[in-house]
Structure 1
Amino acid sequence: MSTHRRFWFVWGWPIALGLLSIFGLLAALLGTGLWHWASWLSFSALLALIVRYWWFPPAERSHTRIKARV
């Protein structure tokens, strides 16, 4: 796996969730009307994702585990 692909494999979702959080904060602070709805929607999506992984953690798969190189 190339370094570029490994970077996005590890950091892709955290970056996307961070951008969604920033969007929600800026929409709530700087906008009115439709922007407030967009803020609520973005934070609801984040909260739903948190609840989903808290209540139903993913099963560990032995074939997807990254093995340390010695």
Structure 2
Amino acid sequence: MSKQNRGFMFVWGAPIVLGLLSVFGLLAALLGTGGWHWASWTALTILLGVIVRYWAFPLER
């Protein structure tokens, strides 16, 4: 992996993963039943946890 690719993933890796988790959670809630609803709740709870963590304890510069 080149240095440029490592920099790209360092900057955009977490937002891409959180975006995919969000899309998965929303689609699972809309299209699935049973276990899919549990997967949706889990995915969206993880996102909410990340939001609360960075809202309550912002990164110091």
What TM-score do you get using the length of structure 2 for normalisation? 0.91
Matches within 5 A, 1:1-70: 2-60=3-61
Higher RCO, 1 or 2 (CA under 8 Å, sep at least 6)? Answer: 2
Compute the RMSD of aligned alpha carbons.
1.2
Q: Provide the C-alpha distance between the structure 2 equivalents of 1:26 and 1:10, rounded to a whole number of angstroms.
A: 26
- Tell me, which stretches of 5 or more residues in structure 1 are unaligned? 61-70
Q: State the percentage of identical aligned residues.
A: 65
Q: Which structure is larger by alpha-carbon Rg, 1 or 2? A: 1
- Tell me, which stretches of 5 or more residues in structure 2 are unaligned? none
